Structure 1
C-alpha cells in the first residue's frame, strides 16, 4: 500500500511540475498533501522545523557567497583578460584557439561554481572571437557546450555544496574529489579537439601573429589576478585554514578588490551582481526547502525503504546499478535542473547506494558527472538554453554539436567506476 501511495504522489508531483508551478512550491505542495492524507504527524510543525533546519545551515552559507563571487567576476574585465592571456599559448596546439573554450571554462569554473555562469561568461568572450577568426561554428559551440559543464565539477561547485549538505558529507573532501575528474574531462575535451583538427586541417584557420616565448609570458600577466583569486579560495579550503564558507567570503572580498583595482567596479554593477546572486540563491533555497520537506514526507510514507528493498531484491551488480542510475538521471534531466535532481533523489537513493558499497564521496562526483550530461541534453538542458541565447541557434542543433563531448562524459563516468582512485585519491590524503 505504501508503494502505491508513494507512486501516486510522484505522479502528482510531475503533474504539478508540468503545470509550470515553481519547483520549490511544487515539492512543498506534494509533501503537504502526502503528510496530511497519509500520516498522523502534525504537518505545520514538521514543515517549519524541517525547512528551518535545512536552510539555516552554516555550511550552506557558502552557496550564496560563491554565487555572488561569480556574478562580480561576470561583470568585470577579468574574463576578457583571461582570453588575452590564454590565446598565445594555445595557437601552437592542433585545433588552435578552439582550446580557449576548454581552458577558459576550466579556469572560470574554479572561480564561479556555476555551469550556466561559466557558459555565458566564456561564451560571450570566445564565440565572437572564434567566429571572427573563421573557426567552424559547430565546433566552437559544441566544445563550449561540453566544457562549460565543468562549472558543476571543478571546485568550488555549487551543486557539490548542495550534495554535501543533503548527504551529510564533507564539502572540503567533495571539492578535492572533483579536481582530478574535472581535469580528466578537460583533457579528454582537448584531446577530442586535437583529433578532430588532424582530420579536418582545412577547417582550422592558420595561426595568427607568431609570438616569442617572452611575449607569451608577458601576455600571461593577464591571468595573474584570476590565478591569485583561485589560490586564495581553494588554497584556504585545502590547507584547512578556512572552511568552505569562510573561503567563499574571502573569494567575494577578493573579487570585489580585483574588480575595483582594474576599474570595472561601480555602484551599479555592485548592486546588479548582488541582486542577481540573491535571486538565484532564493530560487535554489526554495527548491532545497521544498525538497527537504518532501524527503521527510516520503520517509514517513516509506518510499526510501521500499525503493531500497526493491532494488536490493533485483540483485543487481554495482556496475549494472551504476548504468541504470546514469539512464535514470539523464531521463530526469529532461524535466528538471541539476540541483532539483540532486535534492529530490538523494534521500531515496542513499540507502541503496550505501548497500551497493558505493563510497558517498565517489557517488557525489558520479552524480555531478551525470548531471553535467543532463545540462546538454534537450529539452531542459540549461547550458543549451544559455547557448541558444548567445547563438540564436535551435536547441537540437546545439545538442548535436555537443554529442561527441557528451559521449566523452559517459566514458569518464565509466572510467571513474573502474578506477575510483581518480576520485578518492586526493580526499583520502586530506
Structure 2
C-alpha cells in the first residue's frame, strides 16, 4: 500500500530537521576546526608573545601590533582600524573578521577592560589569528555569515601599568553611561555604529574558596530595562552554550557573583553582578544586544600552579578559549533567533507604553521611587544642558530635536529604556536632570 503523501506541515518539519542536523554538523566541524587551527598555529602561524613563552609572560604591545598587521596582510577576511586613542596616546583598535553577507550576524568581543586581567586579551588575540588564518570550509562559511568584531585591548593604558583602571584610575566597566573615558566612548561608538547583536565581555576574577572558586564564571544582563527576548537569549547563551563548552573542556563554571554551597551546589548569597546600567553587560542589553560577561579565575588552583605561574596563566587563557567556542556555536545555531530578538527590542521602543524601571534587576525588585509607572513623553534640555551632554547622547544613539532655545528628547525611539536612565533626575547615574514632559 502506498503511504499517503506528506502534507505541508510534515514537509516543513522534515526541512527543519534537515536544517537542524546540518547546523549541528557545521557547529561541530567549526568547534573541531578552531581547536585544530589553534594547535597548528602554535607551530607554524604568527604567534602571540604569550604562546611563544608558553604562558610565562603576556603579549606585549609591539607583539600585538605585529600580530594584527600579519593577520591583516594575510587574510582577505580581516581588517584593522583605530577607533580612538587613550589619554596617554595609545591606540584603541578594532579588528573586523568576516561578515561578507549583507544580513551577517555581528558579534563584538570586548577584551580586558580591566588592565590587570590579561587572559581575555590573550584569548582574543589567539582567536583573531585562528579565524584569520582558517581555510577550512566550515569556518569560512561561518565567517561569511558572521561579522566578528574584536577590541583586543580595551584598556591599553591600564594594561601597560598593570592596573584595573585606565590612566585616570577610572574603571572603564563603570563608564558605559557617563562615557567620561576615551575607552568607554570608543566602545559606545562601535556599539552605535555597528549595532552588534551579541556583545561578549571578557574579564577575570579572584576566587573565594570554597564558595566561589570555579574556573570560569558567567553572567547575563540583569538590568530590568533589557527586552525579555534579549534577556532570554543572553541567559540561554550562558546556560546552554558557554558553560557547557567550558565543562566539556574540563573547566568548572558558575554564575558570576553567586556564592554556592560546595556540598549541595545551592546558592548561599550574591556578592556581585547587579543590574546597574553603567556596566557593559547591562548597557549592552539595554542597547538591544544579547550580552554576556565571562570571567576566568586568576587564583592558583593547586600547588602545581603556585609553583609554576605559567601553568596558571595557561589555564586562565585556555578556559576563555573554550568558552569562546560555545559563543561561536551559539551564534551559528541561533542566528535567526538572535536577530529577531535584537530587532524586536529596537522596535519596541517606538510602540511600548509600559513602565520604565530606574533600578532593580531580574532577581531584585525596583526600590521605592524607581518605577516610572506612567513614563513621560520625553525630556526637555536647556541649551546649557545639551552643550554638556549632547556628545554623550549622540554616542548612545539617542535622537533629539530642537525645541526653542533647547532640545527635546522624545521617549518614542529605540533607546526608550535608556533615555530615562540618562536624563531623569531620579536615575542613579543620570547625565542631566531633564524637564519631564507629560503632555503627550
Q: TM-score, normalised by structure 1?
A: 0.26
Instruction: Decide which structure has greater strand share.
Output: 2
Which protein, 1 or 2, shows the higher relative CO under an 8 Å CA cutoff with sep ≥ 6? 1
Q: TM-score, normalised by structure 2?
A: 0.25
